[in-house]
Structure 1
């Protein structure tokens, strides 16, 4: 099987390339710039701008992948509100280019989506729940889902929630590292306890993507963590694990933060479908902290 990954330099892309390197899979890793991936002998790297329709068509025609996994997106929610054109180009138009290239080359397209397509009024959500995005980011991700659903290709959507993990080049932080580093530096933190999520370890999301790709399982799948937590809960669990002083943390509600984009209050996912059809089983958040700690220690 040959799998082409977009956004291969991102956190999920890196984890997916690493996971697939252990499988009987030929990997075509793509990204807009140069490769930032470790172990270059395990994959072929191709520079591809997914916003360029011709480049997408040519690359997919040349490499003829069985499966395309689209991990590329503009995911900074506030940035999407202020840079709407760039957001739509990467989150919607690029998906249209991938659909056309998949159709022309008979590829199965797996697209990553988000809990931010929901308004957070009645989470956790299953795959059949009605979408109602509160932000432009959520609107763009929903529009991409709708393109897939009305297309003639074989497709799957992996929806996920608050992905955390360690990138190879430590280029991206997450709530665990932020809490740990801040408290170790003696910084006070205000952390919300009125938003709920099912945070997702990047390795678990990569595994969910592989399980879909391996089976070419069609349709929508919720691929997230299994623990419904507030950011405050996550911070407390981080303090417990690393034995940090909790007095630096103040519990607050989200209304005190001036953010450009509205956030859904309670999302999180029901993952029973992925468990039953794919055999997906994520780590607990506590296990995720331990895995991150081991990875930091190894660097």
Structure 2
């Protein structure tokens, strides 16, 4: 029998890449909430009975949860919604996975860390400094309460319409100056490579936590690489964080140690330039 995979939140950038990369031998049920998806099933992850009902009807071997409220400033303002989507819905999905004995893969974030040291390993102690990170950490806790679960921590996912590299590229192409904060490090990865990497390790049925992200780089250097590709480096303006007028604090260095993933994943998912190449896809 083919593997049945339920992809929750498949209408997002990682979900769409996953659907385009997944083996045709697998039986897929993609879900969406607000953004319609051809062939998808609408699912409100805040309705626990709906989640359990869908899982019991489809009986997936694997559940991949990509749903999240990832706008960091919005999470700081609309805390109730952030908690419901990033924490409580994971509790509901985890319960449904338990009932059906499904393998659960839940995608989380580098923002569970405070950014004081960087290059965080899977077993480093989390200490979020914004509400987004806190809700994602609580979601991780719910997922990890189930023995057949894997939490994938990632960083700065880009692809689709709304993300830092795309913002930089689009504005530079228009001849606009781009403000980039200095001394800010992370481990960005394209949605395409993240999706492929998750699919690559699915057969291994790893449990616990794994970091899947790109190489450590500063946002300044990343912007300059994009600028260099376009011949527009002169339009990049390096500023202090307090000039950005964000509502939520950002960790200074939320880069992730990906040593574990490098040993398990069969392709180079972490090279920054290879990841940036996907922006033209």
Shorter-chain TM-score: what band? over 0.9
How far apart, in 2, do the equivalents of 1:121 and 1:96 lie? 29
Alignment check: 8 A CA contact 1:164 1:199 kept: yes
Q: How does 1:1-299 map to 2 (within 5 A)?
A: 1-20=3-22, 22-33=23-34, 35-37=36-38, 40=39, 45-151=40-146, 153-165=147-159, 167=160, 172-226=161-215, 228-244=216-232, 246-279=233-266, 281-293=268-280, 295=281
How far apart, in 1, do the equivalents of 2:178 and 2:105 lie? 38
Q: Tell me the number of residue pairs that the alignment of Structure 1 and Structure 2 aligns.
A: 279
Worse-superposed segment, 139-148 or 249-258: 249-258
Tell me how far 1:249 sits from its aligned partner: 1.5
Structure 2 stretches of 5 or more lacking a match?
none
* Residues 129/100 of structure 1: CA separation in 2 closer, same or farther (3 Å cut): same
* Residues 95/23 of structure 1: CA separation in 2 closer, same or farther (3 Å cut): same
The one-character-per-residue Cα deviations of 1:239-284 (angstroms, maximum 9, x if unpaired) are 111222x222111221222211110000111111112234453142
* Residues 196/211 of structure 1: CA separation in 2 closer, same or farther (3 Å cut): same
The one-character-per-residue Cα deviations of 1:98-131 (angstroms, maximum 9, x if unpaired) are 1111111110110000000000001111101110
Q: TM-score, normalised by structure 2?
A: 0.94
Alignment check: 8 A CA contact 1:78 1:260 kept: yes
How far apart, in 2, do the equivalents of 1:207 and 1:279 lie? 10
Q: Residue 87 of structure 1: SS of its match in structure 2?
A: helix
How far apart, in 2, do the equivalents of 1:157 and 1:23 lie? 25
Q: TM-score, normalised by structure 1?
A: 0.89
How far apart, in 2, do the equivalents of 1:211 and 1:161 lie? 18
